[in-house]
């Protein structure tokens, strides 16, 4: 009978000790990828060459950035996307900028050559240093939730 109590005690104590140890000494770190750190390989031929590591050029960033915070460039302005982005903006207290490009030749070139935006993606996330951090299609709730999590991680890192 006493062996049962010892085993029961150990079975309950061990997970508790592991939890306390991990809570005190463990570190939860998440990271989102930086695209094109080793160079751009799949760019359209008419765009020319790209530096390594690739960053969006300052001339483009000056046009799209209103403050020193992450920028989300969104090419689709459907009601689903606007609704999902409004939810993101309210949850993140306007800690990132959303840009809807105009329909002109300059923006079309930027989407292809500067942001390297390809189908099926309709949005690209750019951090404060001009690095591309993700491609999204925020029409669905799941994709906008992924975007929300990755923006939170990005904001926590900087």
Residue 99 counted as domain residue = yes
CATH number at residue 89: 3.40.30.10
Residue 26 counted as domain residue = no
- Distance between CA atoms of residues 40 and 24, nearest Å: 41
Global confidence as pTM: 0.80
Percent of all residues in the chain with a pLDDT value above 70, rounded to a whole number: 99
Residue 158: pLDDT over 80: no
Residue 123: pLDDT over 70: yes
- Provide the domain count of the chain: 1
The reported pLDDT for the residue numbered 5 is 85
pLDDT classification of 41: cutoffs 50, 70, 90: confident
State pLDDT tens for residues 60-105: 999 888 788 899 999 988 999 999 999 998 999 878 999 998 888 8
Residue 51 counted as domain residue = yes
Long-range contacts of 89-97 (CB under 8 A, 24+ apart): 91/148, 92/148, 92/151, 92/152, 92/155, 95/69, 95/70, 95/151, 95/155, 96/69, 96/70, 96/71, 96/72, 96/151, 96/155, 97/64, 97/65, 97/66, 97/67, 97/69, 97/70, 97/71, 97/72
Residue 141 counted as domain residue = yes
Residue 133 counted as domain residue = yes
Question: By residue range, what is the domain housing residue 100?
Answer: 32-157
Residue 142 counted as domain residue = yes
The reported pLDDT for the residue numbered 6 is 87
Residue 5 counted as domain residue = no
**Hey, how many other C-beta atoms are within 10 angstroms of the C-beta on 88?**
21
Residue 11 counted as domain residue = no
């Amino acid at each position: 009978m006493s062996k049962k109590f010892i085993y029961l005690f150990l079975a309950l104590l061990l997970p508790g000790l592991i939890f306390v140890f991990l809570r005190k000494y463990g570190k939860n770190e998440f990271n989102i990828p930086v695209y094109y750190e080793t160079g751009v390989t799949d760019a359209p031929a008419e765009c020319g060459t790209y530096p390594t590591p690739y960053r969006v050029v300052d001339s483009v960033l000056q046009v799209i950035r209103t403050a020193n915070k992450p920028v989300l460039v969104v090419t689709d302005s459907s009601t689903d996307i606007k609704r999902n982005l409004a939810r993101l903006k309210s949850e993140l207290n306007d800690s990132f900028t959303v840009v809807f490009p105009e329909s002109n030749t300059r923006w079309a070139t930027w989407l292809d050559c500067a942001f390297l935006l390809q189908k099926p993606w309709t949005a690209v996330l750019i951090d404060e240093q001009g690095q591309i951090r993700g491609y999204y299609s925020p029409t669905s709730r799941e994709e906008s939730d992924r975007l929300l999590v990755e923006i939170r991680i990005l904001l926590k890192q900087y």
